[in-house]
Structure 1
Amino acid sequence: MARVSQAHLDARRRQILDGAAVCFARNGFHATSMQDVLKEVDLSAGAVYRYFSGKEELIGAIVGEVLGQVHEGFEEATRSSPPPPPDLLVASVLSRVLATKESLTVDGRPAFPRLVVQVWTETLRNDELAALLREGYGAVRETWTRIVGAYQEAGIMRPDVAPEDVARTMMAAAMGFLAQQALFGPTPAKALGDGLRALMSMRDHSLVNVPETGSN
């Protein structure tokens, strides 16, 4: 019997993960069965179960992969001194992650943002998935905290704000952007970068002359 190459195994695993992601984005985790996944990927049960024991393991693999991509993108920034500014950094990482998922669609629309929202919803009833997300987001937050510390050390960010507070805010911006994509349709990540750049350009309110209001 011919030995199956690693490239073939990797491609088959990718096929299963992508098909499952589309199913989960379409109907949610709870409403999706393994039969739905088998139909989507057009494989036998034996072929799929060779890689994944069931729906829970598929969910964990998809979430772990995405969080790993996001974490690595921001970790790469920590190797620069100073790191790229937040507007460029967030837009760049999101663009790369979205590009790896652009072939996945549901009803002609990108599946990935919908999948992200489905993941958040599922964490309300799935303790194991919630723990996986806490660990993944915790790693991303820790990386962003170090990035903010590097900004402050370089004198390009005000030092009187806790780095973790800034890290949480940048994560909230990225997560909110993905939620908007799920709700309102695709928008280039550049739009998020442009918006952040505009906010970053604002002067301190205490230095701005605010016109007095009142009747003449």
Structure 2
Amino acid sequence: MARVSQEHLDARRRQILDGAARCFARNGFHATSMQDVFTEVGLSAGAVYRYFNGKEALIAAIAQEAFGGIRAAFEDASRMVPPPMPDVLLGGVLRMFLEQRIPGADQRAFPRLIIQVWTETLRDEQLSATLAAGYQGMRAAWSELVEAYRKNGLLRADVPADHVARTLIAVAQGFIAQQALFGDVAVEVLEDGLRGLMSMETQSAS
């Protein structure tokens, strides 16, 4: 029997993840059965279970991919000299995020899927641990970026780096939530809003 190539295995895994993501984004995690996934991807139960043992494993893999990509973008930015400003960085990362279209689904599908991942962490300890690890990784990457801002004289030093990191992550999370719920928030709106906030100056007391 001929050996199956790694390329074939990777393509099959991708096919299953994309099909599951379409199902979850369309009908929700709990309303989607594994049979729905089998039908969506056109594979037998045995073929799917070879890669994933259930819905929890599928959504955990989707979460790891999504947050891994965002974290890598932040880490790359922290190594740039000078580092990109928050409006440029968040705008770029969120554009990359929105470009992660689920094949066969509309633009709002991926943000809706991420909201479902967040919701599932409230009841699934394993998924919660996966998300927590991704969040901690993003906080660390942003903290490194804050330190890069300081080294380049772009940011004052009296606010803890982690506080700035968590605030900027919250901005990104809020944008994703707005995209999922309303679908009318262009990345340019976020960039303009951040530039406006960044232009504010503290008035000295007279």
Change (3 A) 1:136 1:194: same
Whole-angstrom distance in 2 between the partners of 1:5 and 1:121? 36
Whole-angstrom distance in 2 between the partners of 1:100 and 1:27? 19
- 1:170-181 → structure 2 map (5 Å cutoff): 170-181=168-179
Whole-angstrom distance in 2 between the partners of 1:2 and 1:137? 42
**Equivalence for 1:24:** 24
Whole-angstrom distance in 2 between the partners of 1:186 and 1:51? 36
**Equivalence for 2:138:** 140
Could you say which structure has the larger radius of gyration? Answer: 1
Whole-angstrom distance in 2 between the partners of 1:43 and 1:200? 51
List gaps (5 residues or longer) in structure 1. 210-216
Change (3 A) 1:82 1:104: farther
TM-score (normalised: structure 1): 0.88
**Equivalence for 2:198:** 200
Q: Find out whether 1:159 has 2:157 as its counterpart.
A: yes
Runs of 4 or more off by more than 4 Å in structure 1? none
Whole-angstrom distance in 1 between the partners of 2:116 and 2:184? 17
For residue 127 of structure 1, the aligned residue among 125, 130, 141 is: 125
Whole-angstrom distance in 1 between the partners of 2:204 and 2:104? 48
Whole-angstrom distance in 2 between the partners of 1:155 and 1:116? 35
Change (3 A) 1:8 1:202: same
- 1:1-216 → structure 2 map (5 Å cutoff): 1-101=1-101, 103-105=103-105, 108-204=106-202, 206-207=203-204
Whole-angstrom distance in 2 between the partners of 1:98 and 1:16? 20
User: What RMSD in Å do the two structures reach over aligned CA positions?
Assistant: 1.9
Change (3 A) 1:127 1:207: same
Whole-angstrom distance in 2 between the partners of 1:207 and 1:5? 67
SS in 2 for 1:100: coil
Number of corresponding residues: 206
Contact 1:110/1:186 (<8 A) preserved: no
Whole-angstrom distance in 1 between the partners of 2:11 and 2:91? 29
Contact 2:100/2:110 (<8 A) preserved: no
Contact 1:68/1:136 (<8 A) preserved: yes
Contact 1:38/1:48 (<8 A) preserved: yes
Change (3 A) 1:110 1:175: same
Residue 133 of structure 1 and its aligned partner are, at CA, apart by: 0.7
Contact 1:117/1:179 (<8 A) preserved: yes
C-alpha distance after superposition, 1:146-181 (max 9, x if no partner) = 111111222111222111111011000000000000
Change (3 A) 1:186 1:4: farther
Q: What amino acid does structure 1 have at the position aligned with 2:99?
A: A
Q: What amino acid does structure 1 have at the position aligned with 2:162?
A: E
C-alpha distance after superposition, 1:83-111 (max 9, x if no partner) = 11111111111211221225352xx4521
Whole-angstrom distance in 1 between the partners of 2:50 and 2:82? 45
Whole-angstrom distance in 1 between the partners of 2:13 and 2:75? 26
